[in-house]
Structure 1
Amino acid sequence: MPSVVSPPPAAAPPAARRSRAEGVYELLKRDIADFRLVPGDRFTEGEICERLSVSRTPVRQALYRLQQEGFVEVLYRSGWRVLPFDFDQFDQLYDLRTVLETEAVRRLCAPAPGVDRAALDGLSSIWLIDESERSQDMVQVGAWDEEFHCTLVVAAGNAEMARVHRDVTERIRIIRRLDFTKRPRVDATYEEHARILRAVLAKRGDEACRLLTAHIGGSKAEVRKITLHEVYLARHSHDAPGVALEN
Structure 2
Amino acid sequence: MADGALLIHPTNGAIRREVNMHNTKKPAGIAERIYRQLKQEIFDFQLLPGDRFSENDIAVRMAASRTPVRQALYALEQEGYVEVQPRSGWQINAVDFDHLESLYDLRIVLELEAVKRLCALPAEVLPLPLQSLKQFWIDAPQLADGAEVASHDEVFHMTLVEATGNPEMARVHRDITEKIRIVRRLDFTQRPRVSATYHEHGLILLAILNRQLQEAQSRLHDHIAASQKEVRQITLHMLHQAKRGAIR
The corresponding residue for 2:182 is 174
User: Larger deviation: 52-61 or 101-110?
Assistant: 52-61
Deviations 1:14-40 (A, max 9, x none): x9x733333322221111111121212
**Partner residue of 2:233?**
225
Quick one: distance in 1 between partners of 2:165 and 2:41?
Answer: 32
Give the alignment partner of residue 77 of structure 2, picking from 67, 81, 96: 67
1:101 maps to a residue whose letter is: E
1:1-247 equivalent positions in 2, closer than 5 A = 18-111=28-121, 117-129=127-139, 133-237=141-245
| CA displacement, residues 144-180 of structure 1 (integer Å, 9 cap, x when unaligned) | 1111111111111111111111111111101000111
Percent identity at matched positions? 53
Alpha-carbon distance in structure 2 between the residues aligned to 1:152 and 1:22 = 30
Distance 2:207 2:247 in 1: 38
Letter in structure 1 aligned against 2:105? D
Higher RCO (CA-CA < 8 Å; seq separation 6+) = 1
Tell me how far apart the structure 2 counterparts of residues 86 and 103 of structure 1 sit (CA, whole Å): 26
Task: Give the aligned residue type for 2:205.
Answer: L
Amino acid at match of 1:81: Q
Q: Summarize the Cα distance change of 1:107–1:238 in structure 2 as closer, same or farther, 3 Å threshold.
A: farther
Contact kept? 1:34, 1:238, Cα under 8 Å: no
Offset at residue 55 of structure 1 (A): 2.0
How many angstroms apart in 2 are the aligned matches of 1:42 and 1:149? 34
Larger Rg: 1
Equivalent-residue separation in structure 1 for 2:34 and 2:168 (angstroms): 26
Q: CA deviation at 1:70?
A: 1.5
RMSD: 2.3
Unpaired segments of 5 or more residues in structure 2? 1-24
TM-score by length of 2: 0.82
Q: Is the CA contact 1:116–1:156 (under 8 Å) kept in the aligned structure 2?
A: no
Q: Which 5+ residue runs of structure 1 have no aligned equivalent? A: 1-14, 241-247
SS in 1 for 2:230: helix
Q: 1:95-133 CA deviation, whole Å, 9 max, x = no partner? A: 111111111111111129xx9721111212321148xx3
Rounded Cα–Cα distance in structure 2 between residues aligned with 1:69 and 1:210: 33
Conserved in 1, the CA contact under 8 Å of 2:82 and 2:92? Answer: yes
Measured in 2, the distance between the counterparts of 1:198 and 1:49 equals 50
- 1 CA distance for matches of 2:120 and 2:139? 26
